[in-house]
Chains A and B, each alone.
Chain A
Amino acid sequence: MNLQKIVVIGAGTMGSGIAQWFTQQMCFVELVDSSPEQLSKALASIHSSWDKLVEKEKLTSCQVNQMKKLLEVKSLDKVSRTSDLVIEAIIENLDIKKELFKNLDEFFAPHTIIASNTSSFPISMMAEAVSHERKSRFVGLHFFNPATIMKLVEVIKGKETDEKLCFDLYQWFDSKDKKPALCKDSPGFIVNRVARNFYGEPLRIVEDESEGKMKEVDRILREVGGFKMGPFELMDLIGIDVNYSVTCSVWNAYNEEPRFAPHALQKKMVEERRFGRKTKRGFYKYD
């Protein structure tokens, strides 16, 4: 497999991170967004990030000049129809995504791989929007934030995705300093499923809103467990609303399986708009 021409749709945090990473692999990347302002903002941010990497001597100015030429921002109708890979990284709304995939399927050449960076929706459900011929080239590629730093890419095989295509993508990412993981199209894929208990179990250990107990759990999981952050400080950073939403999504997808049940405290905090760092109130206070 040789991926040279990439289109990334959605210039938010994930989309621009994915575009930056592919450009750093010396691919030709077209970053697309419906908002020209968002595109300008994303391009400026990527350029600034590269300039900082030159200052830190992680990249040479020659490499960065080349990368700047390889990354373009544009509207969807202006991108190359013969791209090798298109990655969708837009809002997590199934109807909007399906509409986009229908258009992408009609727009791009038959060989183009269409991928979604979704963390919430089944790949096979989104593949319903594309033609029978495209289904085998429709795949999930789930990157982790920040995409330029986090090495994991979950390669998700939908019901009709070609097995060899998944394997080839796996090998391609492996050859580019990513750590791909091949997984089945099931709710939460690997990480968002297996990580649920890193939050759910400490909530059940603490049971109430005692800040002292939360601090103790965070300290033990950092110092004894070796985790970079404790669960409560991490939930405050991610956003308690975001974490609760992912938990509910996995729980619902597994027919309210008790292993994924959200904790009452998460619901209460969301109702009280205590979302963590972003609202200055979460499990801890940030004044």
Chain B
Amino acid sequence: MTSVSFSNKIIQFGFGTKVEKKNFLKDHSDKDVFMDLSCYDPAEFYNEYPNLKGCFAALFCDEEKKIEIHFKERNLEVLSKLNELGFKPFEVTIISCGFIFPRTIVQIINEAHYALEENVASKKDIDRAMKYGVNYPKGPFEWSMGRETYVKVLLDELYQKTNDKRYLASKLIK
């Protein structure tokens, strides 16, 4: 995890366990914190830590660095800092575990892994099918490359939150 401080604010980037994220908030209780919560439920963090003023999902963004961001109260200084750092923030009002894009994409990635697990097709053909059959910008395996940990952590978090078996991760996602 890395962070950027300015005035009384800290923006914290990168992946961390839930405990690490919460410890960070505890350790900076005198600051307004804006944190990457791509794999977790913002509502849980907002309820426990009043110093968390906003959160965003950057772990699944590509080279264009487009990210979802949610504010308790819109903060122009934070938006400007994120722009300065090369991010393109898109504000959302929906508070959902895994935000909108990460939550949707991990489910697509998970199903692609189940299909692979059942030998329905090769990774290459699954990616090709989704790109050329329904115009996805990337194939599910291309999306998950290098992000397997985040996919697994978010699926586990969704399962823990909802107790819905639809979020059980394929055994190929480790």
Contacts and interface: CB of A to CB of B under 8 A. Distances in A.
Interface of A: 144, 150-152, 154, 179, 181-184, 186, 189-191, 193-198, 200-202, 205-206, 212-213, 216-217, 219-221, 223-228, 231, 258-259, 261
Contact of B120 (A193, A217, A223, A261): A193
Contact of A182 (B104, B107, B115, B125): B125
Contact of A194 (B126, B165, B166): B126
Given A184-B120, A193-B115, A216 B108 contact: no
Interface stretch (B9-17, B21-29, B130-138): B130-138
A15 to B, nearest CB: 18
Contacts of A197: 104, 107-108, 110-111
B68 interface: yes
Given A193-B111, A197-B104, A216 B93 contact: yes
Interface residues of B, number: 46
Contacts, number: 137
A195 B109 CA distance: 10
Nearest to B107: A197
10 contacts: A144-B133, A179-B128, A179-B131, A179-B132, A191-B133, A195-B108, A220-B100, A220-B101, A224-B66, A227-B135
Interface of B: 61-62, 66-68, 90, 92-94, 96, 99-101, 103-105, 107-108, 110-112, 114-115, 118-122, 125-126, 128-138, 140, 164-166, 168
B111 A181 contact: no
B104 A205 contact: yes
A247 to B, nearest CB: 13
A178 to B, nearest CB: 8
A225 B126 contact: no
A190 B132 contact: no
B129 A205 contact: no
A179 to B, nearest CB: 4
B125 A195 contact: no
Contacts of B133: 144, 150, 152, 154, 181, 190-191
Given A186-B120, A216-B92, A259 B104 contact: no
Contact of A221 (B101, B118, B126): B101
Contacts of A258: 164-166
Contact of B112 (A194, A205, A221, A223): A194
B128 A227 contact: no
Contact of A183 (B61, B110, B125, B135): B125
A201 B107 contact: yes
B155 to A, nearest CB: 11
Contacts of B137: 225-227
B56 to A, nearest CB: 11
A194 B115 contact: yes
